A and B are shown apart, each in its own frame.
Chain A
Amino acid sequence: MWVVVTSLGMLCGAVLFHWALWRWRVPTRTIPVLISIFTAGLIVLLSALAMHDTSQFLFDLVYATMIYVPWAIAYITTYTAIDSDSPTLSLVGEMARRTDRSMTEADLEAFIAARPFVQSRLQQLERGGLMIRENGMLRATGGSIFIVNVFDVYRRVIGRGTHGG
């Protein structure tokens, strides 16, 4: 019981700390700060478990990590949907806001013109070190190509194309 309650409690604590920090001041580099918050939470959690006298110490460490880490990663990756709009959800949200929940072609063109998704993502790729811009040319880094290739292996396994997007 102790390990489950402590792990879930530390996750909630990290989330609340995140919310409080962001309400005070949003950092420039949000994801690295989020990773730091949840890493610190993990260190505190494992330290608390280490100080708790138990005959199954190793099991508690492993089990707590298995609860905490996937949820921390899930939270951080979900947070990226707050930093960066989803085109589908933006479209759905925009339609819902209109009185008759509809858009004409002209409305759609204006909507698209106001949302430079590709430009925004290119900037994020460059800031994240996944893409290099040199003399007006864009080039993916070796590391980013490797990551994409790994994902494409999965897509071939499930029988889907390597297009996506």
Chain B
Amino acid sequence: MGSFLIIFVPIAAFLINAFLQIGICRWTATGLIKSIMYGFSAGAVALVALHLLIVPAAVKGDLRDTVFYFIGNGAIYVAAGYLYFQVVNLGEASIRFRILRELRRYPNGASQVVIDERYNDQLILRTRLTRLTNNGQVRFENGVYRLQASTLLIASQFLTFMRRFLIGKSSEFDD
């Protein structure tokens, strides 16, 4: 029974993360990404506190087990938090989801022309460019879009590297 209390720690931390994120997003003017960061941070604090409260007693004071279960609980919490972020982001930015939402309006089907009128490559990229401009990662000056310091650049370069390493292309649109 004592061992199963260890499992409670990352589950409780994740629930704190999720409920706080939902509350912040719904009842404050905080943006979605910030709400996810705040929720994750609060859950991480809860994870440490709950771990220190529960696990040493559950493992009868064994320091090695306390440390390794902290690594395990941390791994579970980080993975769950990351998956939660992905789920949230799917609804927010996924092209496939947006296409399916458009098709949902047409139970009998729609032609690609109709879909293109409502959702197309121009709209996709212009929306992203507007977001980047609004959060200061891109600046529009004298008719030119210029990249400022961007945390997304690290992600972009990493993915390009992994794409080249794994499938030998830098873009899905490369021949």
Using CB atoms and an 8 Å cutoff, list the residues of chain A in contact with chain B. 1, 3-5, 7-8, 19, 22-23, 26, 56, 59, 62-63, 66-67, 70-71, 73-74, 77-78, 81-93, 95-96, 100-105, 108, 111-118, 120-122, 124-125, 130-131, 134, 136-140, 144-145, 147-148, 151-152, 154-155, 157-160, 162-165
**Is A116's CB under 8 angstroms from B128's CB?**
no
Tier of interface size on chain B: 35 or more
Instruction: Name the residue on A nearest B145 (C-beta).
Output: A103
**Is B65's CB under 8 angstroms from A92's CB?**
no
**Is B131's CB under 8 angstroms from A88's CB?**
yes
**Is A85's CB under 8 angstroms from B32's CB?**
no
With an 8 A cutoff between CB atoms, is B138 at the interface? yes
**Is A151's CB under 8 angstroms from B7's CB?**
no
Secondary structure at the B interface, as helix, strand, loop or mixed, is helix
**Is A70's CB under 8 angstroms from B93's CB?**
no
User: In the bound complex, what is the Cα–Cα distance between A164 and B152 (angstroms)?
Assistant: 20
**Is A74's CB under 8 angstroms from B86's CB?**
yes
Using CB atoms and an 8 Å cutoff, list the residues of chain B in contact with chain A. 3-4, 6-7, 10, 21-22, 25-26, 32, 35, 64-65, 68-69, 71-72, 75-76, 79-80, 82-83, 86-88, 90-101, 103-104, 106-112, 115-116, 119-122, 124-125, 127-129, 131-132, 137-138, 143-147, 150, 152-153, 155-157, 159-160, 162-163, 165-168, 171-173
B142: shortest Cβ distance to chain A, in Å? Answer: 10
User: In the bound complex, what is the Cα–Cα distance between A15 and B11 (angstroms)?
Assistant: 25
Instruction: Name the residue on B nearest A155 (C-beta).
Output: B91
**Is B91's CB under 8 angstroms from A152's CB?**
yes
**Is B167's CB under 8 angstroms from A118's CB?**
no
